[in-house]
Amino acid sequence: MYVAFDEWTQGRSIASLGTNAGADELPFQSWRSFKEAYAPELVERAVRESAIPVRRALDPFGGSGTTAFACQFLGVLPTTVEVNPFLADLIEAKLSQYDADALARDLGLIALRAANEEGALNRLAVLPPTFVEPGIKDRWIFDCGIATRIAAFLEAIESLPNDRHRRLFKVLLGGILIDVSNVVVSGKGRRYRRGWQDRTRAPGSVDEAFFTSARNAIGDIHRYANRRELGYELIRGDARCVIDKGRWDLALFSPPYPNSFDYTDVYNVELWMLGYLNSSTANRLLREATLSSHVQISRSFAPPPPGSDQLDEVMANLIEARSKLWDARIPDMVGAYFADLMAIIRQIGRGLTRGGSLWLVVGDSQYAGIPIAAAEIIGALAERDKWVLRGYEPFRSMRLSAQQGGRPELAETLIMLERAV
């Protein structure tokens, strides 16, 4: 007997498909809190409303794996792409199959081996100086005792012979890092907790948090193992470069928004503490493999694509206002953002079944008072590329960041396209 999609979502009623509020309470989704642009129920709707049967689906911006994981419950074989190695591991940890009893045995081994902290300090030596006490200028992300316990757990996890088990427990360790740190992280970046200097955490809090998370995860795995589709394809890398083959009946995704924020920063703590990054060069290479939606690094930008009068007007206005922008590269970034995104949409179109749908959720942006209506621009560019525009659906509004003016509100919109030829 298969576990139904409604059993996973617990038959909940949600106010909007354009938010994942409350998703942390769903099984598997609590492994690492993740702010996504849409709820799992949007995946179910896209499959249900498709003009053709959906047997294979693509998400080129995998995130925490919500699209791919929902597809497994719906009997759809998912393909997902993710450039961030921590998130790629999170996705694969969710999609993989396990023996729950074997996981419990390996959790016991971790408990035994993590008691030995020899070698843990070697792991801490490669971290940026801001990470571990004493930090820089009396600021640090992890107290020394906490960081040592994290490193000891990582040593124990990496000693396991089963690669799926290593991946799962490493992801679960990553899921507790912010909770035992001196910082909080949101979509706008990282900041220190209020009064963190006066708050002491016992090193044992790492043990408590990790084992609680691991036991809950093993319970999730046991209860929801019999999904209708157990297969998956995970492609690790830059979505602009790796979607060169494949056949799909549906594509559903939300790309980074053109808001000049590098989402790699949200996972900077996990990337460094878990060993995905070990040098500034590795950090830069990862940033360079992301969509042209930020100006955090110096990079070359592709020219804006032709075909949208609205984009042409935006580009002219941004170039004219370049001296007023907080970064002179923003006009180039915006043009390249739409070039990157349309290149990905074209690649998807080459592999999409005739009559197949492409749904994407995008967010508008604004610089120096110049609005960027991303959904309308993408819709016009897609129609020029022979996509059928089935419609727009407003999802929600976002507040402007301080860099964008600090005033509400920017629209997030679902674009529904169909491949007719």
Helix axes 100-113, 163-176, angle to 10 degrees: 60
Please state, for a pLDDT cut of 70, what percent of the chain lies above it: 92
Nearest 5°: phi and psi at 82?
-150, 130
Model confidence at 414, pLDDT cuts 50, 70, 90, reads very high
| Helices and strands (DSSP H and E) totals, the chain | 15, 11
pLDDT number for residue 405? 47
Note the pTM of the prediction, 2 decimals.
Answer: 0.93
In the structure encoding, which two tokens stand for residue 285, read together? Answer: 């290479």
Give the CATH number of domain 5-85+228-419.
3.40.50.150
Q: Which amino acid is present at 102?
A: A
High-pLDDT (> 90) share of the chain, %: 69
Inter-residue contact 401 to 408 (CB < 8 Å): no
Whole-number Å distance between alpha carbons of 202 and 194: 18
Helix, coil or strand: residue 415: strand
Q: How far apart are CA 398 and CA 321, in angstroms?
A: 24
Please say whether the beta carbons of 85 and 98 come within 8 A.
no
Nearest to 210 by CA among 263, 247, 157: 157
CA-nearest of 124, 49, 36, 135 to 80 is: 36
Nearest in space to 358 (alpha carbons), one of 287, 397, 414: 414
> Radius of gyration over alpha carbons of the chain, in Å?
22
Cβ contact 173:153 at 8 Å: yes
Residues 29-71: pLDDT tens digits? 888 876 667 889 999 999 999 999 999 999 999 999 999 999 9
Q: Are 205 and 146 in contact (CB under 8 A)?
A: yes
CB 301 within 8 A of CB 295: no
396 has which bridge partners? 412
Q: Label residue 406 by pLDDT band (50, 70, 90).
A: very low
**Residue 259: C-alpha distances to residues 6, 256, 362, 373 (Å):** 34, 8, 11, 12
Q: What is the pLDDT of residues 114-147, one digit of tens each?
A: 999 888 888 898 999 999 999 999 999 999 999 9
CA nearest to 37, candidates 185, 184, 187: 187
Q: Does residue 221 surpass a pLDDT of 60? A: yes
The 3-state DSSP class for residue 49 equals helix
Q: What is the residue extent of each domain of the chain?
A: 5-85+228-419, 100-223
Q: What is the mean pLDDT of the chain?
A: 90
Contact between 413 and 361 under an 8 Å Cβ cutoff? The reply is yes
Beta bridge partners of 391: 416
What length does the chain have? 421
pLDDT at 295 over 80: no
Of the candidates 172, 177, 129, the residue with the CA atom closest to the CA atom of residue 149 = 177
Does residue 264 contact residue 287 with C-beta atoms inside 8 Å? yes
